[in-house]
Structure 1
Amino acid sequence: MSAVEQHVRARIVTEADVAPVETGEGALPVLLRYDPAVDPDTVRVALPHDSGPREWVLPRELLERGLRAPAGTGDVRVWPCGRVQTVVEFHAGETCSVVQFENRALTRFLRRTHRAAAEPVAH
Structure 2
Amino acid sequence: MSFVIEQPVEARLVAAAPRMPSIPAMLRYDRRDPFAVRMTFPAPATLEGVEVCWTFARALLAAGLEGPEGHGDVRVRPYGYDRTVLEFHAPEGTAVIHIHSSEVRSFLQRATELVPVGLEHLQVNLDHGLAELMRDA
TM-score over 0.5 (shorter chain)? yes
- Other structure's SS at 1:55 match: strand
Aligned AA for 1:73? H
Give the equivalent residue in structure 2 for 1:78: 76
Give the equivalent residue in structure 2 for 1:30: 25
- The gaps in structure 1 that reach 5 residues or longer are none
Aligned AA for 1:14? A
How far apart are 1:94 and its partner, in Å?
Answer: 4.4
Q: TM-score, normalised by structure 1?
A: 0.83
| 1:4-29: CA deviation from partner (whole Å, max 9, x where unpaired) | 000111100134xxx8xx6432x211
How far apart are 1:49 and its partner, in Å?
Answer: 2.6
List 4+ stretches of structure 1 deviating above 4 A.
none
Aligned AA for 2:93? T
Aligned AA for 1:115? E
- Other structure's SS at 1:106 match: helix
Give the equivalent residue in structure 2 for 1:45: 39
Give the equivalent residue in structure 2 for 1:10: 11
- State yes or no: 1:61 paired with 2:59: yes
Identical positions, percent: 38
Q: TM-score, normalised by structure 2?
A: 0.75
How far apart are 1:117 and its partner, in Å?
Answer: 1.2
How far apart are 1:93 and its partner, in Å?
Answer: 1.4
Q: Greater strand percent: which structure? A: 1
Q: Is the 8 A contact 2:12 2:20 kept in 1?
A: no
Q: Greater helix percent: which structure? A: 2
Distance 1:23 1:112 in 2: 32
Give the equivalent residue in structure 2 for 1:110: 108
Distance 1:100 1:48 in 2: 16
Distance 1:14 1:112 in 2: 31
How many residues align? The count is 113
- Other structure's SS at 2:43 match: coil
Distance 1:80 1:8 in 2: 16
Aligned AA for 1:9? E
How far apart are 1:52 and its partner, in Å?
Answer: 2.8
Q: Is the 8 A contact 1:14 1:99 kept in 2?
A: no
Distance 1:77 1:102 in 2: 16
How far apart are 1:36 and its partner, in Å?
Answer: 1.0
